[in-house]
Amino acid sequence: MKTRINLYGPEFRPRRQWASLAQMMLAWGGALLLLLGMGAYLSWQQSELDARQRQLDAELSRLGAESARLDAELARHQPSAALASELTGLRDQIGGMELMLQQLGALAPERGQSHALLLRELAGLSAPGLSLQRIRVEGEHISLGGETHGSEEVPAWVARFGETRSLAGKAFPEFLLSRDPKGRLLFQLGSLPKETP
C-alpha cells in the first residue's frame, strides 16, 4: 500500500498580494494630494465667502449711515403740523386781504379809505386759533368769515372789536358755525346796519 506524503504544504504556497508597497505608497500619496487639494479649494472658497460677507457688511453699514443722515435731514426740514396750519391760515388771510384791497381800488376814494381802515384794524386783531378768510362790506353791513379751531374763540375775537374805530359799537347778531367736508370748523359773522332815526 502506497502512502503519499505531501511536502508542499500551505505555508509554502505563495501568498497573494493585493498591492505592492510602492503601489500602496502611491495610492496613499494620491489620496493625500486629493485631500490637500480639496482642503485648499475649501479654504479659498471660505476666504471668498468671508470677503463677500465683509463687503456686504460694509455696504449695509454705509446704507444704514445714509438712511440715518436722510432721516435726520428730513426731521430738520419737516415743519410741525401746528406751524403748517398757522402758515396756511396766514396765507389765506393775506390772500383775502389782497383781494379786498383790489376791490377797494375800484371804490370811491372816501369809501376806500374807510375800508382800508377796517382792513388794518382787522389785521391788528389777528388771533392764533382763528383765520379770517372772507370780508364783505355792503354799506353798513359787514360780513366776516373764516376758519377757527374752537367755537369759543370767535366770541372772544368779536369782544375785541370795541378796541377799533371802524367796528366799535357794531353788533354782530348773525353767528353761524359749520364744518366743511374736510372737517374744518368754519364761522360766519354778520352785522346789522345802524338804525337811522
Residue 197 has pLDDT above 60, yes or no: no
127-144 tens-digit pLDDT: 778 888 888 888 778 888
Residue 113 has pLDDT above 60, yes or no: no
Mean pLDDT of 68-85: 68
What's the angle, vertex CA 150, arms to CA 163 and CA 95, rounded to 5?
A: 65
Q: What is the CATH number of the domain that holds 115?
A: 3.30.1360
Calculate the average pLDDT of the chain. Answer: 72
* CA distance readout (Å), 17 to 8, 21, 28: 20, 10, 17
Quote the cell numbers at residue 165.
374805530
Indicate whether 62 belongs to any domain.
Answer: no
Indicate whether 57 belongs to any domain.
Answer: no
Q: What is 154-195 written as a DSSP string?
A: HHHHHHGGGGSTTTTT----EEEEEE-TT--EEEEEEPPPPP
Range of the domain at 185: 111-191
152-188 tens-digit pLDDT: 888 888 888 888 888 888 888 888 899 989 888 999 9
The Cα–Cα gap between 106 and 97 comes to 15
DSSP-assigned beta bridge partners for residue 147: 131, 186
Q: What is the pLDDT of residue 63?
A: 65
Give the count of domains, the chain: 1
Secondary structure letter of residue 106 according to DSSP: T
Indicate whether 171 belongs to any domain.
Answer: yes
Q: Are 125 and 164 in contact (CB under 8 A)?
A: yes
